[in-house]
Structures are given as structure tokens and as C-alpha cells.
Amino acid sequence: MEAGMIQKIGQVAVPVKDLEQAVEFYENVLELPLLFNTGTLAFFDCGGIRLLLSLPEKEEFAHSSSILYFQVAAIHEAFAELKHKGVQFIDEPHRVAKMGQIETWMAFFTDTQGNTHALMSEIEAS
């Protein structure tokens, strides 16, 4: 493979057990735009990267091993809004790193299918 051949991530797949319930969560709770669905697949736009929710074809594809980090401008406000909508958070927003005058904050949550994801925000240090 040539150096620089990969340009960007174009799509991320998340396995689900109940597609209808998962679509409801990602479209109405996380408010990601639904591009289309086919009955066993649902595609969302997440800032130009396609997010695919799929009923796994084989058991080895049934478990998510990646965490999606959804970038938000204001993590405390996003946390409060999603918690109000019933999102199950694993922890509160907290600082995970400081790089110069920028702090990276995260809060981890689970979707309705048991996949772990996170909100992340880069905040100017006070």
C-alpha cells in the first residue's frame, strides 16, 4: 500500500440486535441525520462520516470493539440534554488530558444496544 493512500475514515459500522430501537436512539436521541435504511441496515451522517447500524451477518461481527467519540462544542450542556433524554451515562464529564491551553473532556455512555460511546469536547483551559 502506498504511503498516503488512505484519505479518511468514510464509514464506521456499529452492530445492533434491534435495528428499529437503535435507529430511534441515534436519530431521535443523538439527533444524527438518517440518510436511509434498508431493513437490516441504517445509515446516518455524522459530520461527513457515514455511521452504519447493522444487524450482523455473522456472529463474529455481533460485538462492537470500537468506541465512537462524538465531538460536541459544550460537553456539560450536551451531557445534561442527553441525560434528560434518558441516555445511560457511565460517568460524568471529566478532563482526560491537557495539552497547553486546551483540555480534552469526555463522558462515556451506552446506546440501547449495549455499545459504549463517548461525548468529547476540547475546551480552552481556564
pTM: 0.81
- What residue segments make up the domains of the chain, in order of their start? 11-124
Condensed to tens digits (0 to 9), the pLDDT of residues 9-20 reads 889 999 999 999
Among the residues of 49-126, which ranges form H helices? 75-84
Counted residue by residue, the chain has a size of 126
CATH of domain 11-124: 3.10.180.10
Task: Dig out the grid coordinates for 108 from the structure.
Answer: 462515556
Task: Dig out the grid coordinates for 40 from the structure.
Answer: 437490516
Mean pLDDT over the full length of the chain: 90
Q: How confident is the model at residue 126 (pLDDT cuts 50, 70, 90)?
A: confident
